[in-house]
Structures are given as C-alpha cells and as structure tokens.
C-alpha cells in the first residue's frame, strides 16, 4: 500500500453513468461530506430499454459534477467518454472509482488513464452470474482485474463470482447506492378503507422482470383492487394486450417512467410493491432498488426469489418462488384481506432500510474502503 496524501484530502474521481439519476447523487454529497475531494464524471444522458434518461441535477453540493460527452450511448459494453484523458490530467486524482463492470470499454479507458498518472483503481460490479465472455471482452476483463486495487461488489453473490474468476485482490460488499429515508418516508395519513387496494410495479418492462407473471396473478385476485405499472421497455405493448386479454385492462394503469424526484409520491399511491423477477441464463436480479425505496416509504414488498431479492428484503417483506402465479396471487391476496399484516411488514421494511441501506451508510462504507487502500487507515472511523 502507498501513503495517503497528508497535505490534502484524498482526491477521488468517480466515473458513473448511473449518477445521471438525481436521487442517486445524495450518496455523492455524503461522500464529500466525509472529507473526500470528489469529482464525478457523468454523461449528459444515458439510453436503455426505457428510453433516454437525461442528467438530473438534484444533489450537487460539496463535490464537482463534470459532464462528459459519451460515444456509443446505450451500448453497455462499448461506451466510452470523450475528454476523459484531459480530466485525469487536470485533476490528477489519487484514486479513480469506476462504476462499470471489468469487461466494459469505459472501465478499460479509465484504468489506462489512471495507471498513466499512478492513481489507484476501484471497480464496482453487480455481476452475480458466472459468465465467460468471448474476446476481446475476456481479455479486457483479465487486464482490468490485474490492475484493480479494490473491487466493490454490490452483493455477496457478486463477490463470489469474481473470486471464482480468479480475482485475488481485496473485495468489499457495498451496494452501489442506498436510499434516503427522509426523502422516502411513509405517507403521513394511513390508507382509508374505502379506496381500492393498489398493487405497484416500477421498473423496466422486459421479460426478465416478470411483469407478465404479475398480470396473471392480478387476474385471479378477489376484492377491490387496481394496479399501477410505471416504466418503459420493449414489453409494453405486449403487456397492455395481455391485460386486455385477461379482462383487467380497466384495472391496470400503465404510466411512462417519471423523473427520480417524483418517485416518493408514487410510492405513496400504492399499497404493495411487487417485483416478480425471473432468472435467465444471462441475468438474475442484482439488487432491486425499488424494493428499498418502497420499504423506506412504508410500503410492504413482495419479491421473487431471484438473485439478491431475498437478501435485500429479509424479514421486511414476502418472498415467493419465481414464476409462480399462484404464490404471487396468494401473497397479494393476503395483504388485501389482512391490512394489519401489510402494516407489520411496512414497519419491518423501513427499519431494515434504516439499518442496512441508507445513502449515508453506503457513503461511509465506501469512504472506509477508499482509505483502507492507504497505510494505517484501514480502521479509520468516518
């Protein structure tokens, strides 16, 4: 290990397309508040199945947010940043934190510039499936891991993947982002008995998210209910047609993705959040951020046993077998029939978020991980 710079705060450059989302930026303020001289490079927008997410400027105090043009926007593996070399030359960071997988071109680009100036390298990974990529991605992955000073895994299962791939360096398990329990908090007034029970799904409309399983379950419910599905993706038209064929189209509302700052209001409009994710050969649920946002908002959650969902939910919600329409139906029906059960789960869920998944706690663990790369600081308290 090398000496920590003694004459100034640790200078960190983070590269993160995820930080175009405004509510995620709260972690950045918390990191800076802990004595880190932080600069964060983001693209002006990022495209995925839902469309284009433009940069939101919500929490931008205490650190330097730099917007860099991006090439191959929307291409997870191949996108790179224009002007990144100049940014490295100007800042001369002590450490670069790369919010990209080791097999992505943006990671290789950042490592190349970091090694030119002697900066330490931290890579964040969600990869929780043991997958072997063809060249050049396999070559780039090995090259990146050989030059990584610390790997932060979003879950223990992601850490296990990189050990299985032969990475022998230090690993810490820290979620990429937490949630803000002051922004996401229970609504002040309780649900009244005269309104329909509202089931929510917020996220990408892709096959692996299992929204079609949710629609099948909804069609078998009894009582007064409606559903709110918020998001976009290639499955939107098929899901709308499916709701019509199940004769529940008048009870299911589809809305497009909303700005991140509007999400707290959305959670206040539902009585349960469902995340019926399905494991696929190339994907399983890596975290399920909507789960912790719902739990912080005092909303009970139901999740499938895909990937990280059970470890995120713990005793703060209901876990059902993935792909089981009957189990999902029964779990939702139990909350419709027994509102007190939902209230108990809501209380447990919020407590679990406060104990494990706040932005403050993620920032604190991240800063400890940074400082542990420098001699005599592994046990520093922040």
Q: Are 157 and 283 in contact (CB under 8 A)?
A: no
Percent of the chain whose predicted confidence (pLDDT) is above 90: 86
Average pLDDT, the chain: 93
- Determine if the pTM surpasses 0.95: no
| pLDDT tens-digit series, residues 339-380 | 999 999 999 999 999 999 999 999 999 999 999 998 644 444
Instruction: Give CA–CA dist 97/151, Å, rounded.
Output: 10
pLDDT-based confidence at residue 48 (cuts at 50, 70, 90): confident
Q: Which two tokens stand for residue 323?
A: 């792909």
| pLDDT tens-digit series, residues 2-25 | 455 667 899 999 999 999 999 999
DSSP string for residues in 181-217: TTTS---SSPPPTTS-EEEEEES--SGGGTHHHHHHH
User: What's the pLDDT at 123?
Assistant: 98
Instruction: Give CA–CA dist 275/285, Å, rounded.
Output: 10
| pLDDT tens-digit series, residues 245-257 | 999 999 999 999 8
Residue ranges, comma separated, of all CATH 3.40.50.2000 domains in the chain are: 11-177+359-371, 197-356
| pLDDT tens-digit series, residues 259-283 | 988 999 999 999 999 999 999 988 8
User: What mean pLDDT do residues 101-126 have?
Assistant: 97
- Whether the pLDDT of residue 1 is over 50: the answer is no
Percent of the chain whose predicted confidence (pLDDT) is above 70: 95
For 197-356, CATH number out of 3.30.930.10, 3.40.50.2000, 3.90.1420.10, 3.40.50.720 equals 3.40.50.2000
| pLDDT tens-digit series, residues 176-228 | 999 999 999 998 876 666 789 999 999 999 999 999 999 999 999 999 999 99
Q: How many residues does the chain have?
A: 382
DSSP string for residues in 52-121: EEEPP-SS-SSSEEEE--EESTT-TTT-EETTHHHHHHHH--SEEEE-S-TTSHHHHHHHHHHHHHT-EE
Question: Among 63, 260, 97, which residue's Cα sits nearest to residue 180?
Answer: 260
Output the CATH code of domain 11-177+359-371: 3.40.50.2000
| pLDDT tens-digit series, residues 283-298 | 889 888 999 999 999 9
DSSP label at 306? S
Question: Among 106, 64, 113, 111, which residue's Cα sits nearest to residue 85?
Answer: 113
Q: Which two tokens stand for residue 176?
A: 């990429």
Within 244-350, strands assigned E span 252-255, 272-275, 301-304, 317-320
- Whether the pLDDT of residue 381 is over 70: the answer is no
């Amino acid at each position: 290990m090398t000496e920590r710079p003694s004459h100034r705060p640790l200078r960190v450059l983070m590269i993160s397309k995820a930080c175009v989302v405004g509510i995620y930026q709260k972690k950045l303020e918390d990191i800076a508040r802990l004595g880190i001289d932080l600069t964060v490079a983001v693209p002006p927008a990022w495209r995925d199945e839902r469309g284009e997410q433009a940069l939101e400027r919500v929490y931008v105090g205490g650190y330097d947010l730099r917007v860099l043009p991006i090439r191959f926007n929307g291409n997870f593996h191949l996108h790179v940043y224009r002007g990144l070399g100049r940014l490295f030359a100007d800042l001369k960071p002590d450490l670069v934190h790369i919010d990209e997988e080791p097999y992505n071109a943006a990671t290789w680009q950042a490592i190349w510039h970091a090694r030119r100036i002697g900066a330490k390298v931290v890579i964040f990974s969600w990869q929780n499936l043991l997958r072997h990529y063809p060249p050049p991605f396999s070559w780039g992955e090995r090259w990146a891991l050989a030059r990584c000073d610390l790997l932060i895994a979003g879950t223990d299962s992601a850490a296990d993947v990189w050990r299985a791939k032969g990475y022998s360096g230090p690993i810490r398990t820290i979620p990429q982002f937490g949630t803000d329990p002051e922004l996401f908090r229970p609504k002040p007034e309780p649900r009244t008995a005269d309104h329909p029970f509202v089931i929510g799904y917020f996220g990408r409309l892709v096959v692996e998210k299992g929204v079609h399983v949710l629609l099948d379950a909804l069609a078998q419910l009894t009582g007064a209910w409606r559903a709110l599905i918020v998001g976009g993706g290639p499955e939107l038209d098929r899901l709308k047609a499916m709701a019509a064929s199940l004769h529940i189209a008048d009870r299911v509302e589809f809305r497009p993705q909303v700005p991140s700052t509007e999400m707290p209001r959305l959670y206040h409009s539902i009585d349960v959040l469902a995340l019926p994710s399905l494991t696929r050969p190339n994907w399983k649920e890596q975290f399920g951020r909507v789960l912790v946002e719902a739990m912080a908002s005092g909303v009970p959650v139901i999740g499938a046993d895909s990937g990280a969902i059970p470890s995120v939910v713990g005793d703060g919600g209901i876990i059902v077998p993935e792909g089981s329409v009957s189990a999902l139906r029964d779990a939702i029906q139990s909350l419709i029939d027994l509102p007190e059960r939902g209230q108990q789960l809501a209380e447990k869920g919020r407590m679990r978020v406060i104990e494990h998944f706040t932005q403050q706690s993620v920032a604190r663990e991240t800063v400890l991980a940074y400082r542990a790369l420098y001699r005599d600081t592994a046990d520093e308290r922040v």
